[in-house]
Amino acid sequence: ARMKSKQIRQTFLDFFENKKHQIVASAPMVIKNDPTLMFTNAGMNQFKEYFLGNSDPKNNRVADSQKCLRVSGKHNDLEEVGVDTYHHTMFEMLGNWSFGDYFKKEAIAWAWELLTEVYGIDKDCLYVTIFEGDKSENLNRDTEAYDYWKELIAEDRILNGNKADNFWEMGAQGPCGPCSEIHVDIRSDEEKAKVDGATLVNMDHPQVVEIWNLVFMQYNRMADGNLKNLPAQHVDTGMGFERLAMVLQNVQSNYDTDVFTPLIREIETITGHSYGKTEQEDIAIRVIADHLRAVSFSIADGQLPSNNGAGYVIRMILRRAIRYGFTYLGKKEPFIYQLVNTLSKQMGDAFPELKSQKNLILNVIKEEEASFLRTLENGLALLDSMVASMKNDGVTVLDGKKAFELNDTYGFPKELTRLILSEHGLQMDEDGFAKALKKQQEGSRKASATETSDWTTLREDDTQEFVGYDRLSGDVRISKYRKV
Ligand code: ATP
Ligand code: MG
Ligand code: MG
Ligand code: MG
């Protein structure tokens, strides 16, 4: 029988508990007061100070499942999400760590044991990569990892990887090191016969995907760009939970695992659009299922949508989902909030904050949807008047700045502008739009690096009742949540 996702997560934790690891809770996904990082983008973030030697861990072996968000900074997957089937905004990263305890040998042997013996993944589906070295940084090829791997796997399945793929860095600064990654090829035998899997590793093939990264933490990337040795050597691993579920549940997409199917069935019921019919609708459905999770976990962590900093990022994620629903699923009324019940039921055992904050999450999303759909309508009216005057003046290309203003002021999606224009035989100045966007992004990057407002700390035992929004600023005001 195929393992359910709950059991997959538990099996991982049990395995490492048996190897004397302490099982710890996920850190919050939204990071407070770290100027170098807005959201947790990997399991190791919460242990940064241990690697740097600034504080000592209680236990030198730990494991967990960490909520991660990759929508900004060094690891930004937002544009891929929904378009492909294995990058999410929010995902769970299963990880095990050694803080100055075991190193490459055990990390490699245990990863192999768990995947092939415990989860039963066929060895002939697996490839591993090792760091090939980098002259410019004076880094050697990881022959040590190679030698451990060749005891376990055929040598033609051990591939060299470059710095981009096999030297892991948290961000522009911080702990980093060479890594060894495990990739799985889940193509049919027929497809495998056509193309050698080894050539597809790290090539963005939806069925030849990276599942587990074993990082050997040895360096600290300094602000000046140089590498400094860390005080000790550590192991930091991260395995994509949803990708692992795809492999173990014998499906071709993360969205076909039981992590996502309840949400997708609910979206089908609410919108009347079925998954698996057209690419556009499928992307929209995947975007909504994915983004709902990111936004819900963020609100549960106390980060509400707002106009700056992390809150702005969350608002944009939700708006991306709303506009996909509006454009491709024809939803003119709020509906995404209805999925919170399903998500909370499905993931509330592993992440109790989804249960305790359910009503807050639901109400915040509903209000955001309602207010954005209103702006969308205003934007539509403005675009209509632009179209009328273009026709009047015999102009066929909408000024890029105007299109951007629609996007920036009304949160009005570019795709929608393009679509409506084309219905009138008109076009949009794409270059002008891109220029205006770039200018604005440079400004907001500066802002998001410095601002951390609109934050509220929600404790487990806080029961809050939703009262409403402060409509004057359009921002969510924490004071509107009344403790009950
Ligand atoms: P990829 O090359 O597929 O983008 P990555 O090399 O950026 O992945 P790592 O930083 O090595 O990813 O993270 C460890 C593991 O987390 C990956 O091996 C993968 O299984 C998973 N993972 C990374 N990014 C995502 C994402 N956006 N959505 C889901 N899982 C992810
Ligand atoms: Mg990546
Ligand atoms: Mg990778
Ligand atoms: Mg990787």
CATH of the domain at 184: 3.30.930.10
Are residues 197 and 282 part of one domain? Answer: no
Residue 455: the pLDDT is 44
Report the pocket of ligand 1 as residue ranges, CB < 6 Å.
42, 70, 75, 77, 87-88, 91, 93, 210-213, 238-240, 242-243
- Average pLDDT of the residues in 172-180: 94
Substitution site in 243, 257, 290 for ligand 1 pocket (most atoms within 8 Å of beta carbon): 243
Helix then strand then coil, % of the chain, to nearest 5: 45, 20, 35
**Residue 379: strand, helix, or coil:** helix
pLDDT in tens, 276-287: 999 999 999 999
Range of the structural domain that residue 176 is part of: 5-255
Gap between the Cα atoms of 452 and 31, Å rounded: 9
Are residues 286 and 194 part of one domain? Answer: no
- Residues at Cβ < 5 Å from ligand 3 ion: 210
C-alpha 210 – ligand 1 centre gap (Å): 7
pTM over 0.90: no
Backbone angles phi, psi at 181, to 5 degrees: -115, 150
Mean pLDDT of the chain: 90
Residue 79: the pLDDT is 85
For residue 469, name the pLDDT band (cuts at 50, 70, 90).
very low
Last residue of a domain, one of 204, 222, 255: 255
pLDDT in tens, 242-265: 999 999 999 999 999 999 999 999
Residues 25, 46: contact at Cβ < 8 Å? no
Are residues 248 and 268 part of one domain? Answer: no
Atom index in ligand 1 nearest the CA of residue 70 equals 27
pLDDT in tens, 336-367: 999 999 999 999 999 999 999 999 999 999 99
For ligand 1, atom 30, the nearest C-alpha belongs to 240
Are residues 10 and 152 part of one domain? Answer: yes
Are residues 245 and 321 part of one domain? Answer: no
Instruction: Give the residue from 396, 394, 386 showing the smallest Cα distance to 426.
Output: 396
Number of domains in the chain: 2
For ligand 1, atom 25, the nearest C-alpha belongs to 87
For ligand 1, atom 11, the nearest C-alpha belongs to 213
Residue 479: the pLDDT is 29
Are residues 9 and 144 part of one domain? Answer: yes
Last residue of a domain, one of 226, 255, 284: 255
Atom index in ligand 1 nearest the CA of residue 41 equals 10
Neighbours of 296 (CB within 10 A): 29
pLDDT in tens, 204-246: 999 999 999 999 999 999 999 999 999 999 999 999 999 999 9
Ligand nearest to the CA of 40: 1
Residue 462: the pLDDT is 39
C-alpha 75 – ligand 2 centre gap (Å): 6
pLDDT in tens, 390-428: 999 999 999 999 999 998 888 776 767 887 788 789 999
Are residues 248 and 314 part of one domain? Answer: no
Last residue of a domain, one of 255, 283, 316: 255
For ligand 1, atom 31, the nearest C-alpha belongs to 240
Substitution site in 96, 210, 287 for ligand 1 pocket (most atoms within 8 Å of beta carbon): 210
For residue 312, name the pLDDT band (cuts at 50, 70, 90).
confident
Check whether 18 has a pLDDT greater than 80.
yes
Are residues 138 and 70 part of one domain? Answer: yes
Are residues 295 and 152 part of one domain? Answer: no
Are residues 437 and 399 part of one domain? Answer: yes
Are residues 124 and 270 part of one domain? Answer: no
Are residues 329 and 181 part of one domain? Answer: no
For ligand 1, atom 24, the nearest C-alpha belongs to 87
